Amino acid sequence: MYAIRHSRRLLPLGLIVMFAPIAAAQRVATFTVPLDGPVPAEGVPVSAELPDLPAEAAFDLYEVRGAEREWVPSQREGGGRKRLHWLVAPRAGGAAGRVYELARLPAATDVPQAEMNLVDRDGVLTLRAGERELLGYYHAVQQAPAGESPLYARSGFIHPLRAPHGQVLTQIQPMGDFHHYGLWAPWPRVGFEGREIDFWNLGDGKGTVRFTRFAATSEGSVFAEYQAEQEHVVLLPEGGEKVALREVQTVRGYRMLAADAYLLDLTIVLRCAGAVPVTLLDYRYGGPGWRPTAEWNRTNSEMLTSEGLARPAIDGSRARWCLVQGEVDGGGDYAGAAWLTHPGNFNSPEPMRVWPEDKNGRGDVFVNFAPAKGRDWPLEPGKDYVLRYRFLVFNGHRAAEAAEGAWRSFTKPPVVQVE
């Protein structure tokens, strides 16, 4: 379908290399990053517009630490490669700001960099940090479980989502919920051409969601990213199909600065497929949902929202973030994710749907930010509608302060000053 580079020279994850200033390098810019507090272990993503440099120019980024220059992995983005990305790493002392220098190098200079990469194999695009798998995106159709309706088959979902230590934090097609697919985002009540369509409950045969193509992919030393186009397809009762809604999911995974945490960005763009408007109708669930590992239940997992609510009180409440974590490996480790929402999302702070603690007798876990809960969301033709989320995925136990700090970095990232 397309080519993805699978190998470059790699440094061990989290390694930062010390260099003296390179005599042949030419300093072309200084970046100052103001900080309002300590930097967490996973780092803080930042970016800046580059000065007028040719797209093919070779360069390096260094953090200025007194008389020393500390090399920092960086990555250019954009059609003209005009934006530079890097992660601000934690450092003892809690400095109020950081200073970086961008140095242009001779064209022949070859500096190895740690790499985030994508591997496409057997219908699954895997996002990796070095050789470590972070998540898989199914662009091939996952067939229905044996003996079940073929309507349960679909593509276009994330599974597995892995903790830094490798444990799988998602599940697909669990017994009794064959329409659940790891980390996915269908809508159960959609108004289209005078009908109400259900793209969530696949077994009803009213609608489904399909992957169509990758619009773009990107690899580098700071992040790997893919843009997957999906269609929300109406299954017409008289036979045939019609596309009601087009979706682009952009997933970006950042390099790991620590062995027990990483950041993952999910951006969803919705657009009417044609000249007919679409309405995401008020319902108690719908949109981005997470069906976590089957290991978790009411006795070995926990939830906490930005409003201080635990699992029994979360359903129907609103939140800026939700911290979900529990035992993995039979209690030998702990893992989870802080799911962060952007204040620019529709109906923010978004309503939540979580299952009660007696679900399926065990307290099975399901988490959903539902923008159209309590309020219809009308989509007009020709317009894009954007939802933005970030996940702090971790091993170990995290407190509210970690989720709140990650949310602040996500929603109000430091504004880089360029000189």
The pTM (predicted TM-score) of the whole model is 0.93
Which amino acid belongs to residue 11? L
Q: Which residue has the tokens 């993805």?
A: 4
Write phi, then psi, for 33 (nearest 5 degrees).
Answer: -115, 105
Burial (Cβ within 10 Å: 0-12, 13-18, ≥19) of residue 294: middle
- Over 70: is that where the pLDDT of 323 sits? yes
Q: What is the pLDDT of residue 52?
A: 76
Question: For residue 39, which phi and psi values (nearest 5 degrees)?
Answer: -90, 130
* Range of 9-13, 35-39, 288-292 with top mean pLDDT: 288-292
Q: In terms of C-beta density within 10 A (0-12 exposed, 13-18 middle, 19 or more buried), how is residue 272 classed?
A: buried
Find where tokens 């697919």 sit: 181
> With bands split at pLDDT 50, 70 and 90, how would you rate the model's confidence at 91?
confident
Task: Identify the sign of the CA torsion 356, 361, 363, 365.
Answer: negative
CA distance 147 to 209: 21
CA distance 157 to 170: 11
Q: CB neighbours (10 Å) of residue 339?
A: 27
**What is the average per-residue pLDDT within 347-359?**
98
pLDDT at 123: 98
Residue ranges with strand state E in 237-315: 241-254, 261-272, 278-280, 289-290, 301-305
Residues sharing a CB contact under 8 Å with residue 237, sequence separation 6 or more, in sequence order? none
**pLDDT of 3 higher than 60:** no
Classify domain 116-418 at the CATH topology level.
Beta-galactosidase; Chain A, domain 5 (2.70.98)
Over the stretch 272-322, which tens digit does the pLDDT of each residue have?
999 999 999 999 999 999 999 999 999 999 999 999 999 999 999 999 999
53: pLDDT confidence band, cut at 50, 70 and 90? confident
Query: What is the reported pLDDT for 58?
Result: 82
> What distance lies between CA 23 and its chain's CA centroid?
40
Q: Is 379 in contact with 277 (CB distance < 8 Å)?
A: yes
Q: Where are the domains of the chain?
A: 18-104, 116-418
Mean pLDDT of the chain: 92
Read out DSSP for 217-235? Answer: EE-BSSEEEEEEEEEEEEE
